[in-house]
Chain A
Amino acid sequence: MRFLKITKNDWARGVEGLKDSFRVFGPVLERSHFNFRPLEKGQEPDFSFRNTRLSPKSTVYPQSEILFTYTLDKSRPDHHVHKEPPRDETPRAILGIRPCDAKAFGLVKLNFDTPEYKDPYWLSAYEATTLVGLACDEPCSACFCTSAGSGPFDEAGLDVLLKDEGDHYLVKVLTEKGGKLVSAAGWAGEASGAEKAFVDGAAVAAEKITSFVSADKLAGKVTNQLHNAKFWDDVAFSCINCGTCTFLCPTCWCFDIQDEVAGTDGVRMKNWDSCMFPLFTLHGTGHNPRGQKTDRVRQRFMHKLKYFVDRYDKGIMCVGCGRCVQHCPVNIDIRRVCEIMNEYEPEPETCPA
């Protein structure tokens, strides 16, 4: 493990230098909030953010992505051929990603990189990406990362971790990829003894987390009992089935494939989809197995807090970033729902007397 100490000037110079060999993404202020965007020459990532409104998942998993184009025009030699658009294979660097969001990439990878199936689009982008995390010294009140398998100094998904020390950053190089990025940026200046700063910083930040979920009993629940529990109608009542929670979430991975044809030319693309949309499960026959709002709300929480837990044995499919908690327009709070699910005891079976 290498530790470096770099001044903020070194940082700024390094970031500029990186842009020669990397596509660099960082938090940028848009309207009232921050989002991760590609940084132009001369543009610095703005680290005054607490967390970005949208998660950084779009840096490797764009909301809309063209898979291939085609033409049905027989007069053209390449008709009926799938042509992949040129892909930008340049290495990418995401600067200032929060540890929870980086951890989320690891959870999403479980879905896009399995022994049987690999999603080439997601995977190639992910592999080209170096994640430079910014430790959270001031976690927000809606963050519950420490009880969602992550934490303000979590290194799990990161290649590099930065700690802001006012006039300089302490840099912890975590992987080989991270090492390469640090050299490309020209950051040197070993900082022996910085280890302690990270350990202490992690402890102080974890102390500041005020919000928690209990998920310890979820694995032990019987899926069908949880599925049929009576509380779902109350949980779902206020939901308006928008895609806010799933689109903002760093761990939501669902997409839909669409063909768009104009004349004889077409594109096939992949768009984020959401289990909260009725269209998500609508069959060609018109039947919808999740036809009611409650079915859809239940699916979201069952997937994140039960099916995922059982299938991968890697905890819940949530890193506690708090986005859905803060931005759901009707205040449906995953912490509350997790609590209800975790504490749920099946209604005793009653026989008619």
Chain B
Amino acid sequence: MTEYTQKIREIAKKLLSEGKVDVVIGFREGTVPLMAEPCLVSDPAGVDQLVFNSFCGVNLANYLPRRKDRIAVVAKGCDSRNMAQHIAENQINRDQLVIIGAPCTRMMDRRKVAAAVDGKDITSVAEADGRLTVTGPGFEKVLDRESVLQDNCAICVHVNPVLSDEMLADPLPEQEKDRYTDIREVEAMTPGERYAHFEELLSGCIRCYACRNACPLCYCPTCFVDESKPQWVGKSIDPTDTLTFHFLRAFHCAGRCTDCGACERACPVGINVRQFTKKLEKDCKELFDWEAGMSPDVRPPLDTFRPDDPGKFIK
């Protein structure tokens, strides 16, 4: 990963000093282990703060909408798909962007790492050869990288950026994977069981909206949960309102969600919010043979009508 860091700095420096872009959006070293902070650099002298490691799970496409300047941005596979999606939805212009593509070796989940050491205090981590060495007061543990990947990264089939102007490395092999085992379990439930499942899933939700705000798709100027004239959804932690928020948000993301995992990663109380979006992602794949963000030139399926759209549900 250090090669990525090196290359990002070189590219950023070149682009900024040659005046090709106004700003570079990337990551800087976190202040706590297992974290990295998105940052914006506009001065070539500032490029040395940029880093790339296995904790850069934030989706940087989230920082693009409504920007007017020329931006170089670091993009993993999923980020680049969300960028393509943004371009298709006119949230950013392709010519504003210099995409620094990072073939992604999959991000690690800080909460899984914490759980793997029984919640003990972690003071440093070091990564080498597919292993993560975690240290804290009185312990050191070596973890297999594969065992602590973010759930979505473990099943990701597009680690390589779909759009890029610069590449940090040669493309990596993509895996073949059955992505939907968990969703099929939910599909097999009766409606009653399913409702109970979702209620249980959301039981600890504090309506902080970190999931929504971490999502690049959620760029609406006023989210439906924040509308007051009329007020569509109550604002307390009433379970029906909370469910309504999550379902509606998922439907708004249907056909656009890239399963980047930013929502789930952001949730402070560990709710598997991808359970909602992923069902729709699966449906889009199966019904429309559609994967979001693979091209900036095609409108998503729920945005377009085709005479051969599946219509069996219409009676």
Contact = CB atoms under 8 A, between A and B. Distances in A.
Q: Do A and B truly interact?
A: yes
B191 interface: no
B206 A325 contact: no
A329 B111 CA distance: 12
Contacts of A30: 204, 269
Contact of A141 (B123, B208, B209): B123
A330 B206 contact: no
Contact of A140 (B38, B115, B121, B207): B121
Contacts of A210: 123
A240 interface: yes
Interface string B285-298: 00000000000000
Contact of B32 (A63, A142, A241, A271): A142
B32 A237 contact: no
B32 A326 contact: yes
B210 A240 contact: yes
B226 interface: yes
A119 interface: no
Nearest to B30: A331
Contacts of B207: 63, 243
A260 interface: yes
A33 B269 contact: yes
A138 B121 contact: yes
A330 B37 contact: yes
Contact of B210 (A54, A208, A243, A260): A243
B138 to A, nearest CB: 9
A53 interface: yes
A31 B204 contact: yes
Contacts of B123: 141, 210
A259 to B, nearest CB: 10
A190 to B, nearest CB: 34
Contact of A31 (B31, B265, B269): B269
Contact of B209 (A32, A243, A327): A243
Contacts of B35: 331
A349 interface: no
Contacts of A244: 208, 210, 266, 268
B266 A242 contact: yes
A238 B37 contact: yes
A248 interface: yes
- Among B37, B40, B63, B122, find the residue whose CB has the most chain A CB atoms closer than 10 A: B37
A256 B235 contact: yes
B261 to A, nearest CB: 12
A269 B236 CA distance: 8
Nearest to A323: B268
A118 to B, nearest CB: 24
Contacts of B234: 258, 260
Q: Interface size bucket, B side?
A: 35 or more
A278 B204 contact: no
Given A63-B237, A138-B137, A242 B32 contact: no
B68 to A, nearest CB: 14
B309 to A, nearest CB: 35
Given A234-B40, A242-B214, A32 B270 contact: yes
Interface in A224-253: 234, 237-238, 240-244, 247-248
B208 to A, nearest CB: 4
B58 interface: yes
Contacts of B236: 63-64, 258, 260, 269, 271
A32 B237 CA distance: 21
Nearest to B212: A242
A79 interface: no
Interface stretch (A8-16, A90-98, A151-159, A332-340): A332-340
Given A33-B269, A242-B266, A329 B36 contact: no
A269 to B, nearest CB: 6
A242 B209 contact: yes
Contacts of B115: 32
Given A269-B236, A279-B226, A50 B266 contact: no
Nearest to B123: A141
Contacts of A241: 213
A240 B268 CA distance: 13
B268 A248 contact: yes
A251 B123 CA distance: 26
A50 B119 CA distance: 8
B129 interface: no
Contacts of B93: none
A350 B123 CA distance: 44
The winner among A256, A258, A277, A327 for most chain B CB atoms within 10 A is A327
A50 B214 contact: no
A237 B38 contact: yes
24 contacts: A30-B204, A31-B204, A33-B269, A53-B268, A54-B269, A63-B236, A64-B236, A141-B122, A141-B123, A208-B137, A234-B39, A238-B58, A238-B63, A258-B235, A258-B236, A260-B234, A271-B236, A277-B226, A326-B32, A329-B214, A329-B265, A329-B268, A330-B38, A331-B30
Question: A-B pairs with the 9 shortest C-beta distances?
Answer: A329-B266, A242-B210, A64-B236, A243-B208, A238-B38, A240-B213, A331-B37, A333-B31, A331-B35
